Amino acid sequence: MMKTYGLVFFLIILSCKPDTSKTSEYFDIGIIADCQFCDCPNNSVRYYRNSTKRLQEAVTVFNSKALKYVIHLGDFIDRDFASFDSVLPIWNTIKSDKKHVLGNHDFSVVDSLKPLVPMKLGLSKRYYSFKIHNWRFIVLDGNDLSKHGAISREKRTETDSLYNLLVKDSLPNLKPWNGGLSRTQLHWVKSELNDALHNNEWVGFYCHFPVARDPDMHNIWNYSQFLELIADYKNVKFYFNGHNHDGDYLEQNGVHFLTFKGMVDTSYSSAFSIVRMTKDSIIVKGYGRETSRGLKIK
């Protein structure tokens, strides 16, 4: 059940700029999921051309706040490499630090340009981590093994191996638009978790694909393997993702699994958030369709 204790009070506080003398007690971040711009006609559930305006509206709000960083949770574009040139100039006006998660649609470009996608988004690595105060944020690449984003021969071979291993179970999430985490990435995650535990750090994950609700057609292919990996690490506090544009939330074993709603959806509203990290809470202030909520850190 969603935690809403004192939510009205927290949202009033969140609407104000922080007192810089107390920034060590909390910090704020901006979050967008599935901007998914395309210079193409709308359909019944996607309003592609509206995304430039919606992104600009979000950037205006973000720039009025003192944010540690803004992160986009994947699917910055819907298709075509040229689409990046319509949204990146807006994105680059963000005053705070900027982060990207790779989504499946970000690789919906011609094969010859797929290797250029991370660099276009300012990424030197497809998965990475960074630290702020006592938090370690781990950004996953759910396209590491996938039909659309596995670029090297080695990764394509491992993709086929994982897919063929899982297909016999008729899993609802074994779709070509989803993907998986490679053995190398999972090994890296374990090392990051061990380092965080050693350094007494809390951990938050960012990924494009969800993992928690079972069954769910949007889940990363080897979600159960990932959940088994993090189960023993009590310092993991959240997992934030996009991909399912309707959004979702559940808590399992003290971990908050939150799917942010897609910016590209509906003709009448956007979706983005400002999230405040405090010593004992995660406070989400939603804009547009996104839900505001208070999440207790246990």
CATH number at 256 reads 3.60.21.10
Residue 18 lies in a domain: no
Closest CA to 26 of 62, 65, 72, 57: 65
Q: Is-above-0.85 flag for pTM?
A: yes
Whether residue 7 lies inside any domain: the answer is no
Count of structural domains within the chain: 1
- Averaged over 2-7, what is the pLDDT? 43
Which residues constitute the domain of residue 248? 28-296
Residue 216 domain flag: yes
pLDDT band at 215 (very low <50, low <70, confident <90, very high): confident
List phi, psi (to 5°) of 11: -70, -35
pLDDT tens column, 232-279 = 999 999 999 999 999 999 999 999 999 999 999 999 999 999 999 999
Domain contains 2: no
Which 3 state secondary structure label does DSSP give 164? helix
Q: Is residue 11 part of a domain?
A: no
Judge whether 36 lies within some domain: yes
Question: What percent of the chain is predicted at pLDDT more than 90?
Answer: 88
Is residue 212 included in any domain, yes or no? yes
Average pLDDT over the chain, rounded to an integer: 92
Domain contains 13: no
pLDDT of residue 44: 84
242 closest CA partner among 259, 256, 257: 259
